[in-house]
Chain A
Amino acid sequence: MSGDLVTGIVIFTLATYLGVMLIQRVPPTLHTPLMSGANAVSGITVVGALVVAGAGHGWISTVLGFLAIVFAMMNVAGGYVVTDRMLEMFKQSPTGAAPQERAEAGTGGDGKRP
């Protein structure tokens, strides 16, 4: 095993743990935008696709790289735009006249009312 691989595994493990910590805090009401937003992040493969397509390794690499860029960018652009569209719609009660105060923690939101 090379050092690179070991470093990669360390990074992967820590990032996975961090992801678990972060995602557990997300309230159920945001699970759909969370998923599409996370989805956009997984479009990071575009970085690999750019390297493959642009490195001048012959036409096979270029064609596969081009397709990979298209796929990844659909994931990236589509993911961010659709997530933004959804999040734009999430609004609090305008008057703050929610049926009753929710004392419970963990429902997300900053819990502040105007």
Chain B
Amino acid sequence: MIPAPVVALLYLVASVLFIVGLRRLGSPATARRGNAISGVGMLIAVVVTLFDRAIVSYGTIAAGLLVGSALGIWMARAVKMTAMPQMVALLNGFGGGASLLVSGAEFLRAELVGDQVPVDTGITIQLGILIGAVTLTGSVVAYTKLQELLSGRPLVFAGQKAVNALLFVAIVALSVYQLATPDPLLWPFYAVCALSLLLGVLLVLPIGGADMPVVISLLNSYSGIAAAMTGFVIGNSVLIIAGALVGSSGIILSQIMCRAMNRSLANVLFGAFGAQGAAGSTRSAAGLTVRSVTAEDAALRLAYAQRVIIVPGYGMAVAQSQHAVRELAEQIEKRGGEVKYAIHPVAGRMPGHMNVLLAEANVPYDRLYDMEEINGEFAGADVALVIGANDVVNPAARTDPASPIYGMPILNVDQAQSVIVLKRGMSPGFAGIENDLFYHEKTSMLFGDAKASLTKLVAEVKGV
């Protein structure tokens, strides 16, 4: 039993710790401490709540805290770094689900007791249910796509947008009816829950695998906004503050991703990008030849290169080849060459995914360069080594106005003295677009599994 003003002040302390923690996440040197500080804020918020007056039974709470923590820690320990996008998608979903449950429980409690809920609380309850439910099912669909339980291709059907719009209108209408009717009705509540859950599924289904970085960022934002709505429902400012912080972080990241693809958020969400494949482009691969190269020849070129820029893409993650990449870089450096890594903002399936994978393989973060930092350096590079990246190095983005990715900022790999591309086969990338770079006269293709190719390259460079 703590006096109410003290409780409020302790919640304020927790909020400040969240802010300080986020601030420290702004630099690799302080980020780990920042995360811990934010964690302390969370601990304070939970403990304060436990001692707050409203709680009478601790059994359920203790069980819930234990089960949730154990499952969360187990997931966090077991997950592979390559599967981080799925993990974050799931975590978003849990956050949204929790907000849905809290808002729903508050509604049911008031209805069953016969409390008259004030209109403003009623509105935030409905919003909490809507956003929480969309976050929950949307995240689950994103997870199944990333985990490849479901095709990464956009799933579209005729009238999809109309159905979504209709669903949304129905949810709003039911919510308004619920708020307006004096009778203690439960069916509009259940209908709003069900339709909101359905809406989450339908919103994410038409979004393709290559656009997942945006979707995950956006769902991250939703989970924050849902938490803030819950804060309005129970009248707690720490939820509002923390939720708003997360909400804005997700929005900013989505914007960064969209800018990196030169597309609007609306186009990403409703454009079903990649559904028609290369239909928009007039170019085809017919008549063009591909120069394939052996690992021996490629290794020779790498061994004598002064400046090498490595361009990792999702293919590196799929082949789990980040450790082999680092070994190859070490061999090149041993021979006096210089190796840098060029990271496109949307390489991989979530923002910063490549950086985490390379960090896992012990590549120092000061060797990783953003697109703007490194694009001027490709012209001076002897070899650009592209590992499982495709659309982010496609020169058509600069040259072919008919290409679906025209206007997207890309890494200037084609300006390097020579290019080696590690690729499984000639299949087009996620966007389904042919890549002129692979047919360019200074490009050599080294076909095969990225990890196997890299291991061969390491051995060959060692032997030179």
Contacts and interface: CB of A to CB of B under 8 A. Distances in A.
Interface of A: 1-2, 4-5, 7-8, 11-13, 15-20, 22-58, 60-62, 64-94, 98-99, 102, 104, 107-110, 112-113
B105 A29 contact: no
- Which 6 A-B pairs rank lowest in CB-CB distance, beginning with the nearest? A73-B68, A69-B64, A31-B352, A19-B248, A77-B72, A78-B72
Contacts of B156: none
A27 to B, nearest CB: 7
Interface residues of B, number: 123
Contacts of B359: 86, 89-91
Nearest to A2: B120
Given A26-B26, A78-B73, A84 B36 contact: yes
B245 A39 contact: no
Contacts, number: 422
Interface in B19-47: 19, 21-23, 25-32, 34-36, 38-39, 42, 45-46
Given A65-B101, A74-B72, A98 B112 contact: no
Nearest to B108: A60
A38 B39 CA distance: 11
B98 A19 contact: no
Contacts of A72: 68, 94-95, 98
A1 B55 CA distance: 28
10 contacts: A19-B244, A19-B246, A29-B368, A32-B350, A36-B84, A39-B92, A46-B46, A75-B91, A78-B94, A89-B360
B189 to A, nearest CB: 12
Contact of B252 (A23, A61, A66): A23
Interface of B: 18-19, 21-23, 25-32, 34-36, 38-39, 42, 45-46, 49-50, 52, 54-58, 60-61, 63-65, 67-73, 75-77, 79, 81, 84, 87-88, 91-92, 94-95, 97-99, 101-102, 104-106, 108-109, 112-113, 118, 120, 124, 216-217, 220, 223-224, 226-228, 230-253, 256, 338-340, 343, 345, 350-353, 355-356, 359-360, 362, 364-370, 373
B244 A38 contact: no
Contact of B27 (A20, A70, A85, A110): A110
Nearest to A83: B35
B23 A102 contact: no
